A and B are shown apart, each in its own frame.
Chain A
Amino acid sequence: MEKRVLVVEDEPNISEALRFILTREGWKVDVSADGKSMLGMLQADPPDLLILDLMLPDLSGFDILKVLRAGDGTRELPVLMLTAKGQAADRVEAERLGVTRFMTKPFANAEVIAAVREMTAP
């Protein structure tokens, strides 16, 4: 069965780039530009992987992460967090909240793919 990834990203160009390289890797890619609307759907039918931007217009990536880690169906969901802020404190906070991987923008496409593979390896 085809693996599903959900990309939560408010910059359209970035989500388009992610969609392109992940589709090429054989993923089914869904994109959401803000956090709130995605949360309900996410908990009802969790994807295999979540790629989460830290700075979103409504919620922060941290808020979403907190909700995910509290929900039954999403506690183990691999989450790759991408951020353009690049501050060390953010990485610490993300890890405390249970992020699976943390990467800063701009990223190398190969690194994202490698990380995704690693995170979803059986």
Chain B
Amino acid sequence: MSFNMLVLTCLAYVLLLFVVASAAERAASEGRAGWLRSPMIYTLSLSVYCTAWTFYGAVGYAARSGLEFMTIYLGPTLVFVGWWVILRKLVRIGRENRVTSIADMISARYGKSNVLGVIVTLLCISAGAPYIALQLQSIAQSFTVFVTDPAGASLAADPVLIAFWVAIGLAFFTIVFGTRTLDANEQHPGVVTAIAVEAVVKLVALLAVGVFVVWFVAAGPSDILTRIDAQALPQWEIQPGRWTGLILLSAIAIICLPRMFQVTVVENTDDQHLATASWAFPLYLFLISLFVLPIAVVGMELMPAGSNPDMFVLTLPLYLGQDGLALLSFLGGFSAATSMVIVASLALATMVSNHIVVPLWLKVRAARNLDSGDMRLLVLSVRRLSISLVLGLGYLYYVITGGSAALAAIGLIAFVGVAQMLPALLGALFWRGASRTGAALGLVMGMGLWFYTLFLPSFGPGVFLSAQVMEAGLFGLSWLRPYSLFGLTTLDPLLHALFWSLLLNVLVFCLGSFLSFPSPMERVQGALFVNIYDRTGPARSWTRPVAEAEDLLPIAQRILGASEGQNFFRAQAALQGKQGFLPDITPEFLEALELTLSGSVGAATAHAMLAQSVGTAVVSVEDLMAVASETAQIMEYSAQLEAKSEELSRTARKLRDANEMLQKLSVQKDAFLSQISHELRTPMTSIRAFSEIMMDSESMSPEERAHFAQIIHDESIRLTRLLDDLLDLSVLEHGQVQLNIGPVQLRELLDKAIRSSESVQASRKFRILRSRDPEGIEIVTDAGRLTQVFINILSNARKYCIADDPQMQIKVRERKGMVEVDFIDNGAGIPRDKQALIFEKFSRLTDSMQAGGAGLGLAICREIMHNLGGDIAYVPGQGGAAFRVTFPRVLAPREVTRRTAKSQAEAAE
């Protein structure tokens, strides 16, 4: 067949896909997408798993390793048959969270971490580029094989150029149908339908070749079985370990491959499609693998030695002169390759633009403070660019590796790469404790090992890893040999890489998750993902009857208040021309209600509440997060209000207290002035009366005159002493007293005080009992002031002690640096109700003349003792009046300042 003819066929086929895709797009946009959304289309679109590798490579694989190629289908079959274990949850979460890619899924689960999104995207690109290269290679190879005319042969002889044009063409198709519009759900009905058509084409092609081989070349199934037995090679022997590993690998791949995630999860429109796919997709896989071994066996038998078994599907019909069948086979391979490239580049481009380019752009824009332009156009352009980039990378890989490696090897390398996402993905679905740190560390660890043990060596020695590294290990460390890490030599490179990368990936993931503490966002997302079934599913909420106005009214009333809620409903009903307060549930009404509610509880909460009540939407994670943050804001706000009002009431209390204090002070001041006035006027009254008597009495005996003069004199002295006391008290109270601190013997002070107080009622006999010994201590204080206190106490005792044989006991005791001096007389003591009063100013208890004081004595004593760092107290229950004077044995200057400060504070009150 001529080269031009082949190109034309390809173009015609692509044009057919265009038409199908366009029709599907149009039907979807017009809402006639019913048949597009059928479980069959969904199942057929899943066949994007079967790439050119499956189409061509499986036969080659079978020729080399017998039935082992089956493992590539057994893994997916197991996953789909047991679909409710992983796939159902994956799909449910994916749709409810509007997940756009596997990178989005993982980043969303781990607290919307874009770092994870970037890691996963890079991993997928690394694994995806070789895979795309594989498709380009197989198309190029099929061209080379097919073209027979000499003119085209020279062209076809350059597979790199063919691959280049194929890449360009596929990029164009993908851009046209993958980025026509920007859909929030990232669903592409046109692409999916085209893929479904391609699924049919490749299945039909492979079945046709198979039927031809079994019934037209061989003599039916039994003949084929004998031929298989005849051709069986030693290496066809089933190796259980390798089988297990490969089945596991392909099972992982069907979950983790970006393009599979795209068709299984992102493009899914209904959970129940999975139920159909659970038997239909394995059936498809069964059919597509049914004739692989017969074709391989017959090919090996008939084809000349040295023919590439990877191309048997194509070369066998050609060799047997079946040009039509060969063209169908060619189209089947072309379908397999193009469907994979289209979906893979679409999925990868979504990741690249969502997780790398757009975040970067936003950051740059924020940094430069640019206006927000049309984001839609930007995102679409980025998508288109990303598709070109992904296909470009695939092409680049193809050019670098030269397309030498066997097809299957490249596919499996990619499988091991994407398998690194499994721990993070399963953790996302089933383990609430899985954390972002663990996922990131596991991914990086697995990815690194995959790179080192499989991906880089796949380029062949000398490209990235030198032959020396391959032989002797990195840095010459033998345990770092890429194909026998840590001395593990019993596994082949593929399983070796799978084993180490997944093992360490899982280990690091678990350790990281245990050791790190998830952020609140991670915890919320984790709970939502893992417990996805606990919530009302969309299926239920769709079928639930729409809420009645009666249901919404209580909600509104609870939030707005009873009467406001009712008023709002009545007004809305009136707007609709209805009586009463139950309007029809129209979108306008709901919108107005949501707006009104959002004024009270915040937009997100209002939306979530209405969505739940009306039952038209599922509350998304974002909704819940928004509700949570709003609630937090409201709580913070109310906490602030509370704090403010508390502060206000505290201030008010302070003001009230201050006011009370001022009033008390004012009353005290008035009382004090009144007291002073009284105390001053009393002696002045006597002085004035007697001086007037002396002035106007001519006839007065000298004795009388002397008596009156004596009274005037005494009262003058009393007046002077009163004023002295007042000034003294004032100075002491304000802490302005100048203390004269020095060492002195306590006994001396007591001796002096006793001598001074003897003048009071000197005629009365007054015995003083002292204990000489403890009095001998040396103290450091203001001797004059302390003596003043002692004198006051002793004088009071002399004045007030009414015992027949008045006596006083003075006891001295020292403890903990403080000296206690007790003065105990044998009088009647001070009545209990007066004990608290005696230290107050003007608290004279009895007749003043008898005492001869103004009632300031003990008040002054107390101030003096405070100034000396001590105190004076009345000690009840000692038989008579008992005063205890306490003071530090050594008065430090520091003590003075402290006391002074305290006195000033008290004075300020």
Name A's B-contacting residues (CB within 8 A).
10-14, 16-18, 20-21, 24, 33, 55, 57, 84-87, 104-110
Contact = CB atoms under 8 A, between A and B. Distances in A.
Contact of B689 (A10, A33, A109): A109
A74 to B, nearest CB: 26
B409 interface: no
B203 interface: no
Interface in B675-728: 677-678, 681-682, 684-690, 692-693, 696-697, 711, 714-715
B490 interface: no
B117 to A, nearest CB: 86
A108 B692 contact: yes
B677 A85 contact: yes
Contacts of A84: 677-678, 681-682, 685
B693 A106 contact: no
B849 A11 contact: yes
Instruction: Among A12, A14, A33, A107, find the residue whose CB has the most chain B CB atoms closer than 10 A.
Output: A14
Interface string B86-130: 000000000000000000000000000000000000000000000
Contacts of A109: 689, 692-693, 696
Given A57-B846, A84-B682, A107 B677 contact: no
A16 B682 CA distance: 13
B674 A13 contact: no
A39 to B, nearest CB: 19
Contacts of A18: 689
A33 B685 contact: no
B689 A106 contact: yes
B804 interface: no
B534 interface: no
B847 interface: yes
A86 B681 contact: yes
Contacts of A110: 692
B684 A55 contact: no
- For the complex of A and B, the 7 pairs showing the least CB-CB separation, nearest first, are A17-B689, A84-B681, A13-B686, A105-B685, A106-B688, A106-B685, A84-B678
Contacts of B847: 10, 33, 57
Contact of B693 (A21, A33, A55, A85): A21
Nearest to B712: A13
A14 B682 contact: yes
B674 A105 contact: no
Interface residues of B, number: 23
A104 B681 contact: yes
B841 to A, nearest CB: 16
A61 to B, nearest CB: 13
Given A33-B847, A85-B677, 8 more contacts: A12-B849, A14-B686, A17-B690, A18-B689, A57-B847, A85-B674, A109-B689, A109-B696
Given A85-B677, A85-B678, A105-B681, A11 B686 contact: yes
28 contacts: A10-B848, A11-B682, A11-B685, A11-B848, A11-B849, A13-B686, A14-B682, A14-B685, A14-B686, A16-B711, A17-B690, A17-B693, A21-B689, A57-B846, A84-B677, A84-B678, A84-B681, A84-B685, A87-B677, A104-B681, A105-B681, A106-B684, A106-B685, A106-B688, A107-B689, A108-B688, A108-B692, A109-B692
A18 B711 CA distance: 14
B846 A14 contact: no
Contacts of B682: 11, 14, 84, 105
Contacts of B848: 10-11
A105 B681 CA distance: 6
Interface in B630-645: none
Nearest to A20: B693
Contacts of B674: 85, 87
Contacts of B686: 11, 13-14, 17
B845 to A, nearest CB: 9
A47 B88 CA distance: 117
Contact of B687 (A85, A106, A108): A106
Contact of A13 (B697, B715, B846): B715
A107 B688 CA distance: 7
Nearest to B846: A57
A106 to B, nearest CB: 4
B843 to A, nearest CB: 13
B700 to A, nearest CB: 10
B679 to A, nearest CB: 8
A110 B674 CA distance: 26
A14 B677 contact: no
A55 B678 contact: yes
A86 B688 contact: no
Nearest to B687: A106
B849 A107 contact: no
A85 B682 CA distance: 9
Interface string B832-851: 00000000000000111100
A106 B846 CA distance: 22
Instruction: Among B677, B685, B688, B692, find the residue whose CB has the most chain A CB atoms closer than 10 A.
Output: B685
A20 B686 CA distance: 12
Interface string B599-613: 000000000000000
Contacts of A33: 847
A103 B450 CA distance: 114
A86 B377 CA distance: 96
B674 to A, nearest CB: 6
A13 B681 contact: no
B681 A14 contact: no
A105 B692 contact: no
Contacts of B696: 109
A16 B715 CA distance: 13
Nearest to A108: B692
B668 to A, nearest CB: 15
B721 to A, nearest CB: 15
B685 A107 contact: yes
A33 B689 CA distance: 18
B830 to A, nearest CB: 16
Contacts of A17: 685-686, 689-690, 693
B851 to A, nearest CB: 12
Contacts of A105: 681-682, 684-685
A105 B684 CA distance: 8
A1 B294 CA distance: 164
B707 to A, nearest CB: 9
B650 to A, nearest CB: 37
Nearest to A110: B692
Contact of A106 (B681, B711, B714): B681
Contacts of B677: 84-87
Contacts of A55: 678
Nearest to B678: A84
Nearest to B681: A84
A70 to B, nearest CB: 27
B712 to A, nearest CB: 9
Interface string B20-62: 0000000000000000000000000000000000000000000
